[in-house]
Amino acid sequence: MWKFICLFLFTILALGQSSLAYNCSDIEVDRFKFDLSELNKTEEIIGDVEKTPPTYTRTNYLINPCESLTYKDDQVDRCEDGTYICEIIVNYLKDPTDPKETDPQNRTISIKSVAGGEIGESITLGPVLNDVDTHGNLSIILHGGSYKNESQQANITFICSEQTKPANIISYRENTLFIEWETSAACGTRIPEEDKGMGGFTKFVLILIFIGLCYFGIGAAYNYHVYKAHGWDLLPHLDFWRDFPYLVTDFFKYLVNFIRTGRGGYTRV
């Protein structure tokens, strides 16, 4: 039975598509290409001071839409490693914007990991928002955040603009931080038909072929140098590959029987 299970898992892996890592310098969506690498730096967004009698509260954000945050050497308040967007809420005894207050006596009351580098299938093009834009705003949802055992995420709308401006925090609701970011990096370029390159499935097949070549090449070299093998004996795990056609046949017989009867094993004749 364990052979059937292993073969089934191998089949699922072979049929599934590869998961490509998020690369903000090479984003393709709806035949448009975007390069957000100019935003690949930690930006600090200082929020407005809110009166919360008898104290004052300010919500700040550290944002990098491309990579994990980097911190200043003297920065004590920081999110866990791998965080792309971090929310830091600071409480003050006195108004920090008052020039007369040299020591507002602050204390950090909350540090929240809003988002990491997980995107899944969350890159889309939205409606056109201005005359500069020709393809619609680029929307990216970054997952991977967590706070008090609840998942957090950030919905960033990159708006095509002639100049890059600081990120604009819109709201934080239902565990989602909404950001609008006007930047020239959001002005994508159309991909010509002849330059679209290989699709995801083609890349996946090529990766499998590469892994197979490495497996057989390294295995054959190992068998040659360690066991002085020759001919077919150079193949790694030769007994398995000899039995592989029979395993495939038995697996599909088992699968057909399971679909027909609703249970494994063999039916009574």
Q: What's this model's pTM, rounded to 2 decimal places?
A: 0.63
pLDDT at 95 over 80: yes
Separation of CA 43 from chain center: 20
Q: Catalogue the long-range contacts made by 153-157 (C-beta closer than 8 Å, 24 or more residues apart).
A: 153/114, 153/115, 153/177, 154/84, 154/85, 154/114, 154/115, 154/178, 154/179, 155/179, 156/65, 156/180, 156/181, 157/126, 157/181
Q: Cβ contacts of residue 32 below 8 Å, gap of 6+?
A: 125, 135, 188, 189, 190, 191
| Burial of 178 per CB tally in 10 Å (0-12, 13-18, 19+) | middle
Beta strands in 77-203 (DSSP E): 85-92, 106-118, 123-125, 138-147, 150-160, 168-173, 176-183, 189-190
- The answer as to CATH 2.70.130.10 being correct for domain 27-190 is yes
| Ranges 50-64, 119-133, 231-245, most confident | 50-64
* Cα–Cα nearest to 130, from 101, 153, 160: 160
Summarize pLDDT for 166-206 with one digit per residue, the tens. 999 999 999 999 999 999 999 989 888 765 566 677 888 88
Report whether 240 contacts 216 (CB < 8 A).
no
Residue 54 and residue 88 in contact, taking contact as beta carbons nearer than 8 Å: no
The residue with tokens 């010509």 is 192
Tens of pLDDT, residue by residue over 97-155, are 998 888 888 899 999 999 988 887 688 888 877 777 778 889 999 998 999 999 999 99
Beta bridge partners of 34: 27
| Residue whose pair of structure tokens reads 């890059």 in the numeric block | 164
Instruction: End-to-end CA distance of the chain: give it in Å, rounded.
Output: 21
Q: What are the residue ranges spanned by the domains of the chain?
A: 27-190, 200-255
Alpha carbon distance 258, 269 (integer Å): 15
- Binning pLDDT at 50, 70 and 90, where does residue 265 land? low
Distance (Å) of CA 52 to CA 92, 94, 127: 9, 11, 38
Q: Are 133 and 112 in contact (CB under 8 A)?
A: no
